[in-house]
Chain A
Amino acid sequence: MRFLVGYTATPAGADALALGVRLARSPGSELDIVLVLNGGERATLTPTDPGYDTFLLEAAAGWLAEALTLVPAGISVHTHLEHADSFTQGLLAAASRLQANLIVVGAATHGLLGRFAIGSVAGGLLHSSPVPVALAPEGTRLMGTHEPIGRVTCAVGTKPGANGLLTAGIRLARTVDAPLRLVSLVAIDRPGTDAQAIQLAADHAQSVLDYATEHLMDGLDVTASVASGSSVEHAVRGLHWDPSEVCLVGSSRLAQPHRLFLGSIAAKMLRELPVPLIVVPRDFTATVGE
């Protein structure tokens, strides 16, 4: 797989880079570090200055070189300087050009309430990316780059989009060689009488487990569980989280086809999750074997 890190020389950028490196450690994976500078296409009150632009390019090259020093040897890594009107546009352009499979960004630096506050960068991406977006929470960098991904959790519902999500989860688990945990959100996803809902969720969990086992021919460890609770927040808190795992959720049904849109459940999970969240677009079409 090809992982693209949206980098800035800030703590949030270091968070993103640390997660990107951990994801891209396995053989055959590639890491692209992309720094986006302002493009000249926008109107400005302040006249542009070629001297300053040159200076900025030097600074950017310095930041990228610095980023490279954080990447351990043995990982196939490239740095890119992109010019675009916004960070989001630059990352999307780079992702489509490089055919990246996943974009990694730092979630935010100032989440006052809850762990995640979606910054404007992550927010913009989550509303428009055609490929999955991983959000590295504040402090991911502190874990370092050597910790392998401990587990891939896939939070699946029965709503449309769950299949693409499952495929992405299986693929990622195979790439990073980690056990896959499937968590059914059906119990909270669908209001109903308790017994009925739990039975439904158990059935659902079993069915996705069957599907996953079928596709994990190479014998990866896969488990399934049911998230329960009166609210998403409750359910998330009730699950056990390994600090080194990542969690995948699907994007909202409100999203345009092939675009991400953070649904209400995903948004609530984002606030509660202690681990990186990867949002997968609705009808994401990668195949397991790809």
Chain B
Amino acid sequence: MTLEIDASEAVEKSTGGISKKGLSAGSVGLVGAVIIGISCIAPAYTLTGALGPTVAEVGLQLPAIFIAGFIPMLLVALGYRELNKAMPDSGTSFTWATRAFGPWVGWMAGWGLIAATVVVLSNLAGIAVDFFYLMLSQIFGNSAEIAGLAGNPFINVGTCLVFIFAATWISYRDMQTTQKLQYWLVGFQLVVLVGFGIMAFVHIANGSAFDPTPVSLSWFNPFAVSSFSAFAAGLSLSIFIFWGWDVTLTMSEETKGSRSTPGRAATLTVIIVMVLYLFVAIAAISFAGVGGVGVGLGNPEIQGNVFFALAGPALGPFAVLMSIAVLSSSAASLQSTFVSPARTLLAMGHYGALPPAYAKVSPRFFTPGYATIASAVVAAGFYTIMRFISEDVLWDTITTLGMMICFYYGLTAFAAVWYFRRQWFATVRNAFFTFVFPLLGGIILTVLFCTTLVDSMDPNYGSGSEVFGLGLVFVLGMAILLIGVVIMVVQSKVRPAFFRGETLSLAAPRYGEQDE
């Protein structure tokens, strides 16, 4: 694939003749797409981070919430896919919301995406730190001293900064693992999680489980959750567990084989992940119960990182495998997650919504270098501050993350609905994919966002961290959004062109109409 450009007309010819197929057409098969999907979801990391906070909200109805959490995710992802098809752009939510609703809303959608990914980066690195020291202690004869190092805030923050630095360096230099290694890592992760579930049931059968709790059908009944608040909070957490799945839907450009490959890959990925989540969740609850002591999933001490506590009792001598699985899963997820805030920042720089430095691409590694480093610095700063003000940093970041995802996914869903408003009823397919599905998804996420926001004002919300007599999660969420508003207003004074709609205009194409 070559572009030959004449000296005299280099620019015109090259921009006119760009073929995006040159880069990534047909490079990923069905299995590859599923592997990338699972790798982005990072089930081992996700489960250890989300099981505890979700149990804290909904107790035994965890399986029901996991299933319910997929519905809004699916609805929004379908709208996301339509937008991605109509306007492929590395700014994703930022660009789409700007095209649909104008610069101000678009800016905030981009901000929400960046905030969510930065929060998850710090959470990922935090979990990796815990497991890093746990793994060391497991290797050196289960010394509690080494595992306890993760509890020292200075050592913890120091290690976390090292991890974030390493991930940044890898992303900046675009060092990629080979497909083979990726297959092994994902395979290993799945085997360990399934092994964990099987061992849990073996302990239950032997009577050696911590708090054997018989499986009951009511676990699958979402209406058995105590209150709507708890249901909403659980749901916003369980959206997080499927976050990343949407990439399989948008890989249509690069999957090889028939047109149905992306759809099949997305379906297969979600089936694998759903079965795995349900199996592990049921095994964990049956094994440890939802009690508030010991390794009970209701114990606030362990809820930010449950496998950290459960791996030993359930897996015995093989607990180190769980540490390796979570570590490798976090590492893979760190790498894939780093890309999205960096690319969004890049797009915002490109369209003049942020200083042009953000639009710089490294001429050696072809990555958004400046934006990558900027996201890393913010993630590191965020984690450091959180570690010192929060009682349970992992738990609080996951809850905040759920809220941020609801915010920007909700906006993206509405952007899909509004952008396609002139072609809703052009075909039956359009009616569902550009109107009904994203609209429903957007409404659900808005309700979740508002409910979580209101409930989290209570200082007892989530882990019980509070500042100024308000729940930490509420303060965090509001602070993140307000900082966004402030930066946006400053940018609108410094760089008004974007905010006048000069770089990225409103649009609502009719059916069959080519945008741009």
Binding site for B on A (CB under 8 A): 8-10, 13, 37-65, 68, 71, 77-83, 94, 97
Contacts and interface: CB of A to CB of B under 8 A. Distances in A.
Interface string B87-110: 111111001000000000000000
Contact of B176 (A45, A53, A54, A71): A45
Interface stretch (B1-9, B199-207, B233-241): B1-9
A80 B5 contact: yes
Interface of B: 1-7, 10-11, 14-15, 18, 20, 22-27, 32, 36, 39-40, 87-92, 95, 171, 174, 176-180, 182, 247, 250-251, 253-254, 332, 335-336, 338-339, 343, 346-347, 350, 361, 363-364, 366, 368
B254 A48 contact: yes
A32 to B, nearest CB: 10
A53 to B, nearest CB: 4
B350 A55 contact: yes
A50 B343 CA distance: 12
B380 to A, nearest CB: 20
B14 A49 contact: no
Contacts of B180: 43
B90 A57 contact: no
A37 B336 contact: no
Q: Which of A10, A50, A78, A81 has the most C-beta atoms of chain B within 10 angstroms of its own C-beta?
A: A50
B27 A40 contact: yes
Contact of A80 (B3, B27, B177, B339): B3
A61 B24 contact: no
Contact of A81 (B3, B6, B26): B3
Contacts of B177: 43, 45
B124 to A, nearest CB: 14
B91 A51 contact: yes
B5 A83 contact: no
The CB with the most chain A CB atoms within 10 A, among B250, B332, B338, B363, is that of B363
5 closest Cβ pairs, A-B complex: A43-B179, A61-B14, A9-B363, A40-B24, A51-B89
Given A43-B179, A47-B336, A52 B90 contact: yes
20 contacts: A37-B23, A37-B366, A38-B23, A38-B174, A40-B22, A42-B176, A42-B179, A43-B177, A43-B182, A46-B338, A48-B23, A49-B88, A49-B339, A54-B88, A55-B90, A61-B5, A78-B7, A79-B10, A80-B2, A82-B2
A57 B366 CA distance: 10
Given A55-B346, A78-B4, A78-B5, A10 B23 contact: no
